[in-house]
């Protein structure tokens, strides 16, 4: 299982603490340190839509030029997320069962049978 995010994100910290407290083994992948590729995003998009994955509430989104935000589709959203990984809603939990975006303790507990 891989938990994707950035280490200083509060929501990612909550997810990491929850996994550790519940003895859920995971590998942490920091977008900023470890990078991100299109194949990984496409794997996630098999389970969630690009609209769920793209965080339009992020500071990065708010700082984008208006022309970059207009006429979005999956291809342009992927391009934006690859250029600016902080546009991805965090964390992304990826395992053999698929992927989950964001952290919700109830959802994690249900996913892991806790």
Active site residues: 9
Virtual torsion, Cα 100, 48, 5, 107, nearest 10 deg: -20
Burial of 103 (0-12, 13-18, 19+ CB in 10 A): buried
CB-neighbour burial class of residue 71 (10 A; exposed 0-12, middle 13-18, buried 19+):
exposed
Is residue 9 exposed (0-12), middle (13-18) or buried (19+ Cβ within 10 Å)? Answer: middle
């Amino acid at each position: 299982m891989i938990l994707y995010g950035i280490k200083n994100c509060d929501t990612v910290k909550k997810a990491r603490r929850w996994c550790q407290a519940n003895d859920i083994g995971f590998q942490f992948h920091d977008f900023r340190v470890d990078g991100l590729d299109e194949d990984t995003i496409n794997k996630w998009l098999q389970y969630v839509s690009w609209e769920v994955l793209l965080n339009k509430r992020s500071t990065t989104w708010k700082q984008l030029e208006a022309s970059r935000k207009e006429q979005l589709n999956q291809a342009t959203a992927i391009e934006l997320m690859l250029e600016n990984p902080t546009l991805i809603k965090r964390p992304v939990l990826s395992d053999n069962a698929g992927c989950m975006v964001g952290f919700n303790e109830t959802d994690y507990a249900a996913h892991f049978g806790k």
